[in-house]
Amino acid sequence: MCGVGGRLKFQNIAVIPSEVEGPCVSSGEFLTPVNHRFHSHIFGQIEGFVRKWTLVPLTLTLSVAGFAQVTVVRTGHLIDPDSGTTLVNQQILIVGGKIQAVGSALALPADAKVIDLSKMTVLPGLIDCHTHVADGQSDGEPFNVLKKTASQIALESVPNARAMLLSGFTTVRDVGTYRALNDIALRDAIARGDVVGPRMFVAGAYITITGGAGAMTGQAPDIQLPWDLHYGEANSPWEVRQKVRRLAHDGADLIKMLSTGAVLTHGSNPASLEFTPEELQAGVDEASHFGLRVAVHAHAAQGIKNAILAGAASIEHAEMLDDDIIALAKQHGTYLDMDIYDEECIQAGAKTGQTPADFLQHDADLGRIQRENFGKAVKAGVKMAFGTDAGVCPYGTSGKQFAFMVKYGMTPMQAIQAATSNAADLLGHSKEIGSIKVGKYADLIAVSGDPLKDISLLERVEFVMKDGKVYKSAAAAACSQ
């Protein structure tokens, strides 16, 4: 039985959450009274140990007890993005953080913990393919990074990760940070259980030309930047290869290159070309030797075309598309990752004075162009992923983009697929995430109502599970054993 006084019980072990988001929610560490006089069928006849309170993670407690947690989730409606259909009255059997079975008439273990979401719609955990979670507290001015230590930015990123997870995004692709390798540290802290956050796939740093879209710009010429603020600068094909090799060694999951100028960089121009075709090709080729895919930032048409021809897995932003580029992207199977919501936050920042004036000049008319071309790409059948540039808008608000994707040409199911099965395919991890299937991680979210009728429901996710652990629980969700 669980949900009584915030206490979860597993056989002879009582587990008391230290932090609760709702009924039957677990997060972080647990203060657990461990009975060291275990039953004989676990460890045999062991006597004489003193009963005492010990601070241990739940996962350790369960493994010491000799079994993996078994959970059953009862769903009212279950959205399957792989088939583009909705199933009814399904049960999801979860063992040790992974999905073991899905069906309407499963044989369930008698001692399984049951989570009742039968009045809700259940979806796979959402995936945002363009975030900057490791950038700390963003205030719209990148130059303010110089006012903070790398440690301060890393610690400021902890609540960003938590906000993303609790909003329903169980996985993110973090595509660059000014302070190199902070994202790798955050990814690993989440994986160890030290920090609450989504599963992260990270770029480590931007690979950019000197003074380019991913560089720290605006300082006086005689100012020497710390190593981590120019880690990824490269100015030839061989320098690009060296940066890719270094990032692969340091633990990056993907490579991020910048083909054109940027909106949110001082002294930049979104219409300008930066890396040459030869440099882009060198980056993609070198990354392939390490099993890494390349995401390329590109606003200008020629920069987008160069990146597609170089073999980029995805084009980030992709505003200045034309019919030929759309056809080229479809031919090459290149994903477009178009952040069509964050224009709202850039313009809102203009009203408050938060968005620098030169950024607004760079942004002039790009939002309108991007949204129009988004609709053209969808209609043409180009592969589309879900990416928001999280950090431009507040962390935890990525769900607001769904309504814009529907407004500008997608069906609600297509928008959901962009953030689930398509996103998993872009990451190269379709066997582990992106849908609710046997063998995949138990990443689930739930909402009250039908997001296929009202996509804005995904702005208000009520239940979040990652790796079989509940981090946010709907008030109505029942839990029993």
What range defines the domain where residue 48 resides? Answer: 2-65
345 with 451, same domain: the answer is: no
349 with 387, same domain: the answer is: yes
Element (H, E) at 203: none
Sequence-ordered list of residues with C-beta below 8 angstroms from that of 420, at least 6 positions apart, any chain: 81, 123, 124, 125, 126, 127, 434, 435
Query: What is the structure's pLDDT at 12?
Result: 32
Cα separation, 122 vs 115, whole angstroms: 12
Cα separation, 270 vs 163, whole angstroms: 30
Q: What is the mean pLDDT of residues 327-350?
A: 93
Q: Is the model's pLDDT at 6 over the cut of 50?
A: no
Q: Cα-flanking dihedrals φ and ψ of residue 113, to 5°?
A: -75, 130
234 with 351, same domain: the answer is: yes
Largest CA distance in the chain: 77
109 with 145, same domain: the answer is: no
247 with 352, same domain: the answer is: yes
Mean pLDDT of the chain: 86
140 with 120, same domain: the answer is: no
Burial class from Cβ neighbours inside 10 Å (0-12, 13-18, 19+) for residue 221 reads exposed
Cα separation, 237 vs 454, whole angstroms: 48
Q: What is the mean pLDDT of residues 356-385?
A: 90
25 with 81, same domain: the answer is: no
Burial class from Cβ neighbours inside 10 Å (0-12, 13-18, 19+) for residue 449 reads middle
Q: What is the mean pLDDT of residues 322-344?
A: 97
Which of 45, 65, 85 is the last residue in one of the domains? 65
121 with 145, same domain: the answer is: no
Q: Which two tokens stand for residue 201?
A: 């796939």
Q: Answer whether 362's CB lies under 8 Å from 343's CB.
A: no
233 with 211, same domain: the answer is: yes
261 with 346, same domain: the answer is: yes
CA dist list (Å): 97 to 116, 438, 478: 18, 11, 19
pLDDT tens per residue, range 13-29:
233 333 334 434 433 33
Query: What is the structure's pLDDT at 475?
Result: 56
What CATH number did the domain enclosing 239 receive?
3.20.20.140
Where in 26-103 does DSSP place strands (E)? Answer: 29-34, 52-57, 70-80, 85-88, 91-95, 98-103
Which of 50, 65, 80 is the last residue in one of the domains? 65
Q: Which of 44-53, 107-116, 236-245, 379-388 comes out lowest in average pLDDT? A: 44-53
Q: What is the mean pLDDT of residues 396-411?
A: 98
Query: What is the structure's pLDDT at 264?
Result: 74
Query: What is the structure's pLDDT at 69?
Result: 87
Cα separation, 263 vs 279, whole angstroms: 22
Query: What is the structure's pLDDT at 23?
Result: 37
Query: What is the structure's pLDDT at 347?
Result: 84
56 with 167, same domain: the answer is: no
* pTM for the whole structure: 0.85
Q: Number of structural domains, the chain?
A: 3
Q: Is the model's pLDDT at 172 over the cut of 80?
A: yes
323 with 251, same domain: the answer is: yes
Q: Cα-flanking dihedrals φ and ψ of residue 274, to 5°?
A: -115, -85
